[in-house]
Chains A and B, each alone.
Chain A
Amino acid sequence: MSEKQTFTGNRGLQLEEALIFEIGSFENCGVDLEDVPQVESRLGDCAAQGDIDLPGLSEPEAMRHFVRLSQKNHAIDAGLYPLGSCTMKHNPRLNEKMARLPGFADIHPLQPQSTVQGALELMDSLAHWLKTLTGMPEVALSPKAGAHGELCGMMAIRAAIEAKGELAARTRVLVPESAHGTNPATAALLGFKVDGIPADASGRVDLAAFKEKLGDDVAAIMLTNPNTCGLFERDIIEIADALHEAGGYFYCDGANFNAIVGRVRPGDLGVDAMHINLHKTFSTPHGGGGPGSGPTVLSERLAPFAPLPYVEKGEDGLRLVENNGDAAHNPFGRMVAFHGQMGMYVRALSYMMSHGADGLRQVAEDAVLNANYILASLKDVMSAPFEGPCMHEALFDDGWMKDTGIDTLDFAKAMIDEGYHPMTMYFPLVVHGAMLIEPTETESKAALDLFIATMRDLVRGAKEGEVERFKNAPELAPRRRLDETLAARSPVLRWQSPEAKQAAE
């Protein structure tokens, strides 16, 4: 690799790009706006004084700015993105096209319901697909993301407990140590005490320890299934039965639904509430961190407490109930303004209709097959903490790195130089130096074979003492390792002009 220095700092097609505030000018505008009609201002005493101190860019400059920025990103369209627990699968472009149909994209959430019957039909269809795939009788569509769906499910549980007059008594929520951080955060937000459950030697909930924790004060369990070790909880039905016997509710974190969609229905496992990340299982794009969408399915026992709004069939078409319940509904409240992530509903339904019941089952099977192929192809050189087949993600620990002088972070950064996005690192917390690999079903065998060969070569290098290949990595990415300590110690969270900076000093 050439060490050649360039005048611009650019390296061929890899172009450096300054901030808007350093290249734009206040005089520039990339939008041609109409002349403003002369009217008498009605702003009262609230009119702004002075200009808005933001630069603009003309259209060609703006396009170039953002295209250059985009080229500094890894993306699923560019290569394998094996982030465990995140389900980085292909995002079909048909979904994007459908979501942009004016009949979905250009309608207002509060225009008369008679003028949006097709939109309500879409919501109703999505609900039907989700309920059928999960075997659950009700779904709350409005949660904006996975964690928001968790909140929705736990709110429904809290409402059901309150309706039984047990709120003061049921204060504890059981959360396995391997859970996503959102689980304990959600329980705490609702005033519950979080009580951890240990894992057993097989990477699953320790059934005996769980049963010992049960009691009159348990409100719920929040359990991910398949769990964050990528394993199906074998005792899940027994866990659900014992919990229900003790008067508790079963919240299932549905982040890993992709492993079982079309093959296993959470309703058959005794689940009371489960959020579904439309941006994982149902292929809506992650978009650099959102928007997500977290519809939450509810059991018979929780269905009456589903939040506002919901769609029901009325005499003259579909009706969106926005304010009050009725005899059958006692909504716990409202999660969000308007009706949730319509744009994501359209994309998810477009994906489900494309795959169909048969295709979705194949999705789960191929996702699980791909993960097991990776597990089987790497476990002789890396160390897998648990026996047996995995579900949709393969988990390794750092046991094999002992005496190599490198750690999980170094290994991940070396993957970047090889053109891969690293797997999820140091999660789940129950495994030391965890590396969680989720290939998803949209990788070909050839792509997996190259990935496996690359991983094996990295492992070989680590074991043969090629320490610099790891410690200095990445060397070929748009940036080398970034100083996160500096960023946190004296946070710089916005651009400031050199003059403003100087004045502050």
Chain B
Amino acid sequence: MRYLPLTNADRQAMLANIGAADIDALFVDVPDAARRDGTVDLPRHQGEMQVERQLSAMAGKNMTASTVPFFCGAGAYKHHVPATVDHIIQRSEFLTSYTPYQPEITQGTLQYLFEFQTQVSELTGMPVANASMYDGSTATAEAVLMAHRVTRKSRAVLSGRLHPHYTAVIENLSEMGGFALAQPDMAPQGAEDLLALIDDDTSCVVVQNPDFFGNVTDFTTLAAAVQAKGCLLIVAVPEVVSLGLLKRPGDMGADIVTGEGQSIGGGLNFGGPYVGLFAARDKYIRQMPGRLCGETVDADGQRGFVLTLSTREQHIRRDKATSNICTNSGLCSLAFTAHMTLLGGKGMRQLAELNHARAVQLADALGAVKGVEVLTPAFFNEFSVKLPANAAQIVDALADKGVLGGVPVSRLAPHAGLDDVLVVAATEANTENDVAAFAAALTEVLS
């Protein structure tokens, strides 16, 4: 077997050295009732070519984003990732390294984590960011738990325009952890009175920008009002490219900012792995979840980096830890940092402008289709449209025509009464021809 270096002669020599009669002697502690002779009922080993053939056959059954006019978003976005990025993350020294617990021989990982933290801090407008979380949804749920810790309260108010999966993850964790929630009904537009839902036990208000329907909002006034009531404002940013063009959550006064970093450096990957962003105000550093990388010096006085403030974490604090999280999304944060480094601030701005421009073109094109109404007055690269029929059925009909035309709200929120609403996204990966093809296909499907 190609992954196993030991030869049978090696095995015999090693057993002799150990003083074991055979391999079974090393499994002597396994109870008789659980011992199995022979192999489990699965296929035997195969060569590379055979495995590749079978997996390629599975992959071949899927319609890939790059081969069709593609407009799905809703928390996962199709962007171009420079070839350099994938090469960098496949460097053996990054790919096959462990968590940097021995800083003397993992400065590579530690330095890029420090660079990652700086970039996330700058993009969100927050003083500190951690070394990444699993994804945007779990980062947001962790932010809610952190707000409970900071304020010693146990109830969260969620915007009705939070991504329904983010809501579901927070709901699950809240229910299991004994925390309460309040959330207005989901509506694609119009004002939400979140302040009215705050009570004495409320720790935080969670909003999203751009929100699930694509609306962009300046939360400056809300932040001040929420804080006046002794609560934290958490702003979730599922499309990080938007930070290239929108007012930063930190500048709006947010206390915690979470985000999904997949758009920078990451592919669609059918939903994972992605990379959660987590940033906060300085004074909350010691209540933050996840790993933090900090600057220090070595015994010769040279600058170096280490994982720090680990007394918050489970391997030290056990049941008193700020979170049970051990893993972060190391390699995805490297991809983020490499891509962001290639872009720089100037490239990030231009990338965001391209996304916005393409979305404006798309809104104009779809808005011109008979029976279609664009619902989102102010947006970044994603917006909602009201269709004259069931949006899920229309999306299926579009797929039959080779167009992946957005995400029906009912896919994520079947009980919201928004069966005719479709969320569509456009990015720099779309051409003007894609936009025209989408409008034409939609016209056909609706006629």
A422 to B104 Cα, complex, angstroms: 11
**Contact of A20 with B324 at beta-carbon distance under 8 Å, contacts A108-B270, A237-B34, A480-B104 already known:** no
Inside 8 A of A129's CB, which chain B residues have their CB?
42
Which of A47, A66, A102 has most chain B Cβ within 10 Å? A66
The tally of residues in A whose CB lies under 8 Å from a CB in B reads 206
A100 to B285 Cα, complex, angstroms: 37
Inside 8 A of B294's CB, which chain A residues have their CB?
487-488, 491-493
Q: Is the CB of B151 closer than 8 A to any CB of chain A?
A: no
Q: Is the CB of A57 closer than 8 A to any CB of chain B?
A: yes
Contact of B62 with A353 in the complex, beta carbons under 8 Å = no
CB A342 to nearest CB in B, in angstroms, measures 4
* Contact residues of A between 467 and 494, Cβ < 8 Å to B: 474, 477-484, 486-488, 491-494
Which of B128-136, B182-190, B436-444 participates in binding chain A? B128-136
- Smallest CB-CB separation from B308: which chain A residue? A487
A10 to B416 Cα, complex, angstroms: 62
Among A69, A94, A283, A286, contact of B48 (Cβ-Cβ < 8 Å):
A94
Contact of A445 with B349 in the complex, beta carbons under 8 Å = no
- Smallest CB-CB separation from B407: which chain A residue? A110
A299 to B432 Cα, complex, angstroms: 52
A354 to B412 Cα, complex, angstroms: 36
Among B33, B127, B345, contact of A52 (Cβ-Cβ < 8 Å):
B345
Contact of A445 with B6 in the complex, beta carbons under 8 Å = yes
Inside 8 A of A52's CB, which chain B residues have their CB?
122-123, 243-244, 345-346, 348-349
A427 to B435 Cα, complex, angstroms: 57
Inside 8 A of A145's CB, which chain B residues have their CB?
134, 325-327
Inside 8 A of A98's CB, which chain B residues have their CB?
51-52, 55-56, 59
A81 to B165 Cα, complex, angstroms: 38
Size class of the B contact interface (CB-based, 8 Å): 35 or more
Contact of B41 with A494 in the complex, beta carbons under 8 Å = no
Q: Is the CB of A231 closer than 8 A to any CB of chain B?
A: yes
Q: What mask results when residues 77 to 118 of chain A are scored 1 for a CB within 8 Å of chain B, else 0?
A: 110010100101011101011101111111111111011111
Inside 8 A of A286's CB, which chain B residues have their CB?
96-99, 330
* Contact residues of B between 133 and 154, Cβ < 8 Å to A: 134-138
A187 to B330 Cα, complex, angstroms: 25
Q: Is the CB of A191 closer than 8 A to any CB of chain B?
A: yes
- Smallest CB-CB separation from B41: which chain A residue? A132
**Contact of A421 with B105 at beta-carbon distance under 8 Å, contacts A43-B380, A132-B40 already known:** yes
Contact of A66 with B411 in the complex, beta carbons under 8 Å = no
Q: What mask results when residues 322 to 349 of chain B are scored 1 for a CB within 8 Å of chain A, else 0?
A: 0111111111101001101111111111
**Contact of A122 with B58 at beta-carbon distance under 8 Å, contacts A287-B95, A488-B294 already known:** yes
Q: Is the CB of A456 closer than 8 A to any CB of chain B?
A: no
Inside 8 A of A37's CB, which chain B residues have their CB?
357-358, 361, 432
Which of A211-219, A369-377, A397-405 participates in binding chain B? A369-377
Inside 8 A of B117's CB, which chain A residues have their CB?
493-494
Known: A104-B62, A107-B63, A357-B41. 4 other contacts (CB 8 A): A97-B52, A236-B34, A370-B14, A494-B121
- In the complex, 23 of the A-B residue pairs with CB atoms within 8 angstroms, ordered by the A residue number, are A19-B115, A42-B356, A43-B216, A49-B247, A51-B346, A56-B346, A62-B88, A73-B97, A74-B97, A101-B56, A119-B58, A145-B134, A147-B326, A188-B321, A283-B3, A288-B99, A291-B332, A337-B166, A340-B272, A354-B51, A369-B18, A369-B23, A372-B26
